[in-house]
Structure 1
Amino acid sequence: MSEFKQELVRYPATRITEVAKALSGDLRVRILETLGDRSMSVGQLAEALGVAQPTITINVQMLEQAGLIASTPGANREKLCSVTCRSIMIELPVKPGDGLHRMEDIHMPIGMFSGCRVQPPCGMASKDGSQIGSIDDPRVFYMPERTEASLLWFSGAGSVEYYFANPIPPGVPLEELRLKAELCSEVHSFRMDWPSDISVYMNDLHVGTWTSPGDFGDRKGKLTPERWFHGTEYGSLTEWKVTKEGSFINGAPGSGTTIHQLGLHYLQPIRVRFEVSESAANKGGLNLFGAGFGDYPHDIVLSFVRSSER
């Protein structure tokens, strides 16, 4: 019998979706059946079930993430898999928000903007470092291929706007909204001393302006593809936060905009706009980095933080 086996594992309401997804596939149920009280390697599971090993690996990972399978190193560096329990008990939600984590994140690919205002020099690049469409052609920002972008840029003044769904149901108090993005200024090639005043607006209300000190290209970005050689390499991870008291940029005071003033509604999107204003003191453009570029392995992240007072 597996040393990991427990009689019963209790899952809170916040993990219903995760566990349900793990158990929703026939192959994953068959993996659990095959393991039973034994420990087996991925290769042994593949042979027993007559399924390709990469497919078994992917499905085992889903079961591991849900806590239904545990793995330990075996002989010859094989991963031995075991079922963690005999039974599970899932707690059902009893009031709005019980099925949500205290912080819910929405990851938005940078090419999924809903509106833009750009001027050349401008452009976009995909995750492998290849340019999307023609460089310095604003029409690229309206092409279907834009959804594959992992880097976008424009010079001078301009903006890109994203629509985020609201996952928080009515009646659930929200404590904070946090927006994280990796960005920097934009100039031909790069300049470490090229400031740009980059503002964030939520539902057309000013949250705060961060002044990027430059367009960063003095080293290779940690995730930037090798074939990319156009100067800009990485950005600065910047956080805008809106609370009940006001807004903040990297912990420093931003504008006076509060969560209440945003007028959030469950059935209405939250509009987030990155903008370099025509009236800005530093109209130094913008580079916005996605998961495959720069130093950080994620796109734009909007986090919804529920109140701890439930």
Structure 2
Amino acid sequence: MQLGNEEIYKVPRAKNELVLRALSNSARYNILQQLSQGPMNISELARAINISQPTVTTYVNQLEKAGLIFCRLQKSSKGYNKICHTTYRGVSLFWETDSAETIEDEYNIDLPVGHYSSIDCVAPSFLATQAGIIASSEDFSRFFHPIRMQAELLLMTEGNVHYLFPYNIPDTHKILYLEVSAEICVALDRADCCADVSLTINNHRFAVHRMTTAVNKKSSNHLLEWYPKDLATTGQLYVWRVEADRSTLNDIPAGNMTLADLNLQPMQPIEISFEVKSPGKPPGGMIIFGKSFGQYNQDIRLTVVHEREAHRDEDRTR
């Protein structure tokens, strides 16, 4: 329960490790100290502790996951700002656990952009590694060559791409939420371009999101000789989440999908599909960045947070 910064957080034993890990880093601790003075957004925190905004975003996510802070999106003239708040004045940790206590686990799978099960796109579209383009719409058969597994960037002007994520959480566990995250952006780095992007999970679709071209930071991609000069080099980290009673995109309501709709079954893969349409002229298209591109060190990530019952004897034998 979020009580502002007026109470002591009695950390559930299941989160002891998360909290200790969060507090073990001086930069994350500095973020907590800054927020103890009042709410701040990501750019304000980055300036205050003199580290990059992507790093602050990563640290904020870790602190939020540990229950030490909470964040809200606030509309601004340039879109939305993530405003961070401290949750409590301090923490209190205990080693013993009650036999009925539950343990919260996190299941993560990352798939590189080239590990799709099927793809259908129109020209111009391509797959790339740091060394250069390895498949393009000039020879569509290359999109199914084994070399595609090495790709870490996918550009689609229009089309869809499907991924199968392994899933093996027992049905006796309670699923708290499921997330899909990826760094994406409008491909053409022009102010008059846009793209309509939608994500589908097990044949259930989120609301369509219109991406517009933002002023992007230049990454090392623009130093690559082969990289087209008119393409964006960084994107935004988009996080689609499905909970028991709602679905969101970056904390904004994004449709009526619920966990029950997904019909998650142990040992059955979860199908994730991206679709892009480019309504304007010139067509904006979409880029999905992998680890070697953009500004976030991740591929397409599936996260499932689930809860299981902890038993005293089990905890003592760990």
Q: What's the TM-score, normalizing by structure 2?
A: 0.60
Report the equivalent of 1:229: 227
- Displacement after TM superposition at 1:139 (Å): 2.3
* Amino acid paired to 1:176: Y
Report the equivalent of 1:102: 105
* Amino acid paired to 2:176: E
What are the residue-to-residue correspondences of 1:104-119 with 2, within 5 Å?
Answer: 104-119=107-122
Q: Is the 8 A contact 2:115 2:148 kept in 1?
A: yes
Question: 2:196, 2:304 → 1: CA distance?
Answer: 26
Highest Rg: 1 or 2?
Answer: 1
**CA deviation profile, 1:27-71 (whole Å, cap 9, x unmatched):** xxxxxxxxxxxxxxxxxxxxxxxxxxxxxxxxxxxxxxxxxxxxx
Report the equivalent of 2:306: 306
Question: 2:208, 2:220 → 1: CA distance?
Answer: 26
Residue 232 of structure 2 corresponds to residue 205 of structure 1? no
Residue 195 of structure 2 corresponds to residue 196 of structure 1? yes
**Cα distance change, pair 259–121 in 1 and its aligned pair in 2 (3 A):** same
**CA deviation profile, 1:55-111 (whole Å, cap 9, x unmatched):** xxxxxxxxxxxxxxxxxxxxxxxxxxxxxxxxxxxxxxx99x97xx62221111110
Most deviating of 249-258 and 298-307: 298-307
**Cα distance change, pair 293–224 in 1 and its aligned pair in 2 (3 A):** farther
Unaligned runs of 5+ in 2: 1-13, 18-98, 311-318
Report the equivalent of 1:122: 125
Report the equivalent of 2:291: 291
- Displacement after TM superposition at 1:277 (Å): 4.9
Aligned residues: 214
Report the equivalent of 1:67: none
Report the equivalent of 2:173: 172
Report the equivalent of 2:9: none
Identity %: 29
**Cα distance change, pair 171–252 in 1 and its aligned pair in 2 (3 A):** same
* Amino acid paired to 1:143: H
**CA deviation profile, 1:204-257 (whole Å, cap 9, x unmatched):** 11123222112x685422567634431321111111000011110000000101
* Amino acid paired to 1:175: L
Q: Is the 8 A contact 1:122 1:138 kept in 2?
A: no
Q: What's the TM-score, normalizing by structure 1?
A: 0.61
Q: Is the 8 A contact 2:201 2:271 kept in 1?
A: yes
Report the equivalent of 2:315: none
- Aligned structure 1 segments of 4 or more residues deviating by more than 6 angstroms: 280-283
Question: 2:215, 2:140 → 1: CA distance?
Answer: 23
* Amino acid paired to 1:115: S
**Cα distance change, pair 172–218 in 1 and its aligned pair in 2 (3 A):** closer
Residue 161 of structure 2 corresponds to residue 160 of structure 1? yes
**CA deviation profile, 1:108-152 (whole Å, cap 9, x unmatched):** 1110000111111011111x2411045643222111111100111
Question: 1:237, 1:177 → 2: CA distance?
Answer: 16
- Displacement after TM superposition at 1:295 (Å): 0.7
Q: Is the 8 A contact 1:208 1:240 kept in 2?
A: no
